[in-house]
Structure 1
Amino acid sequence: MKLNSKFSEELYLCNETGRELYHKYAEHMPIIDYHCHISPKAMYENKEFEDLGEMWLEGDHYKWRAMRTFGIDEKYITGNETSFHDKYLAFAKVLPKMVGNPIFIWCALELKRYFGIDEPLSEANAEEIYRKTKALIKEKHMTRQWCMEHSNVRLVSTTEDPLDDLKYHKLLKGEYKGGVRVITAFRPDKAMFLELDSFDSYLNKLSGVTGREIKDFRSMLPALQDRLKYFREVTGTTVSDDGIPHFTWEDYTDEEIEVIFQKARKNEPLTKQEIDKYQSAFLVEMGRLYNKEGYVMQLHIGTYLDANRTGVERVGQSTGFDCTDDQCAVKSVGELLNRLTVMGELPRTLLYPLDGTKIETWAVLAAGFCDNGTEAKVQLAAPWWFNDQQYGIDRQFRSCGNLYPVALSVGMLTDSRSFISYPRHELYRRVFCNYLGELCERGEYFGTEENLKEIIEDVCFNNANRFFDFKVSN
């Protein structure tokens, strides 16, 4: 029986060409993390981590979700009364059982890259590894900024609401002297979800922040544009982010949108068709603003938010109770892209479909809206959320490579709240080089090594740098 007792540096590199490509060209490329949810406040305050438990389990809903599947009591997952040490022990007990799960590999990579530990964690050695990592945290002064710099991160984009004053981004810009550029993505979801009771109060706050009276839909748009300009001025960002969990396109007139808008401000009941009409108009107008202000439009598609409402009520939102939905039709997003194309105002766009079973149809849609003058104007972004593991990444390369050139991909992101999640970029690069190696060894690709070097460096770093116009040095 062949069992590895230590982490292998040839992880996922199952052919000689792939191994050589990874170690020569991908392994040491810097990281652009163009979408994540880390806290700019935490990065600015830059506290040293308490222990490995805090590093792993503070805000990481991937691990929380997995722990719940093993029946672990919530107090060892999100409970405030339980120490990170005890949460870590509860997690260590079940980690060896996560065979085939990306959390097992992520943890192995994190132990290796941040602590030089290549043995598997288990209940038996949990205390020993805890003590060793705690000592290293103290010795190396492992702060939030240290983790990012140690991982060779050159740029990170957090995600903020238009109302955010970007206080900590300003402080970082003025005081942080490390090598990581910190920007933010503009996420206007609360102005789109008009069916929520908070819609009117949100617009009142938007009015207060911008000094603009918001009387109707048309007067809301300049207020949002003001905030787009503010975000760009403060952080230099070119990144937007719209969540469209259950978007259905509906044709609309300007008059209809104004009537629907006024109903929502009065908190009057809305029909599904009215909600769909408003969201269609909202996304068209935001797309126009993104194009005008030089932003990339990111569309996160098909999330079944708060599926376990009992869990959400008990623990809170974004804590591991969201799921995947298959209700957002390709045709609806296609109509949005088409309307913007007809207007001549389609921005550079990234599509993040969460339903991985339909990934090929989204690749076909993206290719259909590329046009003269902009490389890969609309494209699939990195395999997102439940798809950001070896199988999902490999599936996207193999299936979508037939439909959209993988060499144009903007590469990987973390989509994480964790400061030690950057080995996910490594995992992506390993899978990519293994895929390229297979193509070469089958005789399916017979270009030069220089061709492959350029492709790898582009996917790892250069494509994202160009697509978002970040101008980050390699």
Structure 2
Amino acid sequence: MKPFLDEDFLLHNKTAVKLYHEFAKSMPVIDYHCHLSPQQIADNVTFKNLTQIWLYGDHYKWRAMRINGVNEKHCTGSASDKDKFLQWAATVPYTLRNPLYHWTHLELKRYFGISEILNEHTAEQIYTQCTALLQQPDYSVKNLLRKMNVYTICTTDDPVDSLEYHQKLKGDGFEIPVLPAFRPDNVMNVTDPEKFNSYLKKLEAITSISISSFDDFLYALQNRHDFFASMGCSVSDHGLEEICAEEFTGSEIDSIFHKVHSGKHLNEVEQRKFKSAMLVHFAEWDWEKGWIQQYHLGALRNNNTRMLNTIGPDTGWDSIGDFQQGKNLSKFLGKLDNDDRLTKTIVYNLNPADNELMATMVGNFNDGSVAGKIQFGAAWWFLDQKDGMVKQMNALSNMGLLSRFVGMLTDSRSFLSYPRHEYFRRILCNLLGEEIEHGELPNDIPWIGKVLQDICFYNAKNYFNW
């Protein structure tokens, strides 16, 4: 029986062990999509206790705690930090076979050198030990990033964000580039006219541009797109249920904008036409600047209206959706390709039923101009676990080129999430090692080791030009 979480964790054959330890393990980390706070990095924050760095904002853990019968006051509520941690520790044993169980113990081991299993009996000692370590300079945010061999970080930023902390990081000369990504989801959210017009006021304020027409709106947004580029941004990102690709005319969009700007509700067709127009404009701007565009598709968000109204979004009430992705994605990418305005693109799906759809769809628009120009992105969110990663990589392997894959990202708000890259690398090495030992791949360790290093690091480095 193998011990839990030993040096060969998830590596079930000798070839996998060799591939991981000799090729994958030491590769730097490119985190090309995350939700880390640039302010906390710029201020080089040290956290007061383990709860603050580990549980604040972590809806994965909150969901598990709620399922385990933990009251909301111990998740997002008024309980003390220590009491919140004790409730999480008591939940951990019940997360067996959930990726949280592996992530939790990997993070304790890699950051704090703790090999004990976290449960209600070890909670006090672990909380005290980790909290004491977090007070030391070696555990400041910047040093945590250094500790995890992070090469580049790309945060997620709204067009009206000032990017002042990115500017501060550049001025301070922090050796790990922390770059912004342009995430205009709020720009396209025209479901609620009051919220949309409130957002327009923020856009007017940050650009000093008065917005009374759709052309004004585009001008202000392009101003922000240009500003992001001046700050080193070369990536956009969209979190969508599905791609909208409705036919529209310029006069229709002018009229739709006037309607929502005057405070009137749009019908569903008008909303879809507006979103379709905005997606095309953003994609064309990305192409003009040579940016990489990312589309995270398939999340059904904010399902629990009561809790959304009580504690807000991004608190753990989302799920996989069953949207029809294929036809509109094909139409959207096809329009850009026909106009010769399709930039490098990464598409992520949240419904595993769409794996083969996505793997084949990206192949339709890889035109040979760039290796892996259109990418089937890493297993995302609810699929960010062993089974989900293997299924994504199998679909990509069967219908595309795994060797050109840009690999893993954290998609996390936590500075303790970087062992997820290790998790991914171990799973990948085991997958390839198993096939080598079964004679399904040649025993060419130098070549397959190179492919591994490409997937772990070099493909992303070259793809993003970082």
TM-score range, shorter chain: over 0.9
Q: Is the 8 A contact 1:185 1:239 kept in 2?
A: yes
TM-score normalised over the length of structure 1: 0.95
CA distance in 1, matches of 2:309, 2:68: 21
**Cα deviation code 1:39-75 (max 9, x no counterpart):** 1111122222222222210111111111111110111
SS at match of 2:96: coil
Query: Which stretch has the larger CA shift, 293-302 or 6-15?
Result: 6-15
Question: Is the Cα contact below 8 Å between 2:359 and 2:395 reproduced in 1?
Answer: no
Separation in 2 of the partners of 1:333 and 1:260?
Answer: 23
1:29/1:461 contact within 8 Å kept:
yes
Name the residue aligned to 2:89. Answer: 92
Q: Deviations over 1:264-300 (max 9, x none)?
A: 1112121211111111111111110100012111011
Q: 2:369 corresponds to which residue?
A: 373
Q: Distance in 2 between matches of 1:139 and 1:184?
A: 29
Report the Cα offset of residue 182 of structure 1. 0.5
Match of 2:140 in 1: 143
Which amino acid letter does the alignment assign opposite residue 35 of structure 1?
H
Residue 155 of structure 1 aligns to a residue whose secondary structure is strand
The 1:316–1:251 alpha-carbon spacing in structure 2 relative to 1, beyond 3 Å, is same
Q: How far has the Cα of 1:246 moved from its partner?
A: 4.0
Q: Give the conservation status (yes or no) of the 8 Å contact 2:376–2:396.
A: no
Structure 2 alignment gaps of length 5 or more: none
Secondary structure in 2 matching 1:161:
coil
User: RMSD value over aligned CA atoms?
Assistant: 1.6
Partner of 1:266 in structure 2? 262
Identify the residue that residue 224 of structure 1 maps to in structure 2. Answer: 221
Distance 2:461 2:215 in 1: 34
Structural mapping, 1:45-444, within 5 Å? 45-79=43-77, 81-139=78-136, 141-177=138-174, 179-197=175-193, 198-234=195-231, 236-444=232-440
Give the Cα separation in 1 of the matches to 2:347 and 2:325: 13
Aligned 8 A contact 2:242 2:323 in 1: yes
Any conservation in 2 of the 1:228–1:293 contact (CA below 8 Å)? no
Shift in Å, 1:323: 1.4
> In the aligned structure 1, how far is the partner of 2:13 from the partner of 2:263?
60
Between 319-328 and 401-410, the greater mean CA deviation after superposition: 319-328
Q: Distance in 1 between matches of 2:41 and 2:47?
A: 12
Percentage identity across paired residues of the two chains: 39
User: Cα 1:206–1:393, aligned 2, differ >3 Å: closer, same or farther?
Assistant: same
Aligned mates of 2:161, 2:266 — CA distance in 1: 28
Residue 83 of structure 2 aligns to a residue whose secondary structure is helix
Supply the distance in 2 between the matched residues of 1:147 and 1:356 (Cα, whole angstroms): 33
Which residue identity does 1:467 align to in structure 2? Y
Q: Identify if the C-alpha distance between structure 1 residues 104 and 398 changes in structure 2 by more than 3 Å, giving closer, same or farther.
A: same
Kept in 1, the 8 Å contact 2:192–2:265? The answer is: no
Answer whether contact 1:229 1:293 (CA < 8 A) is retained: no
- Structure 1 pair 136–40 and aligned structure 2 pair: CA distance change class (3 A): same
Q: Per-residue deviation at 1:216?
A: 2.9
Residue identity matched to 2:253: I
State the AA in 2 paired with 1:50.
K
Determine helix, strand or coil for the equivalent of 1:136: helix
Kept after mapping to 2: 8 A contact 1:154/1:180: yes
- 1:139 CA displacement: 4.4
- The letter of the residue matching 1:16 is K
Q: Size of the alignment, in residue pairs?
A: 465
Match of 1:21 in 2: 19
Q: Distance in 2 between matches of 1:169 and 1:328?
A: 37
Counterpart CA distance in 1 for 2:220 and 2:450 is 42
Q: Deviations over 1:210-256 (max 9, x none)?
A: 2334343334223222212211212x121101122144432122221
Distance 1:328 1:192 in 2: 20
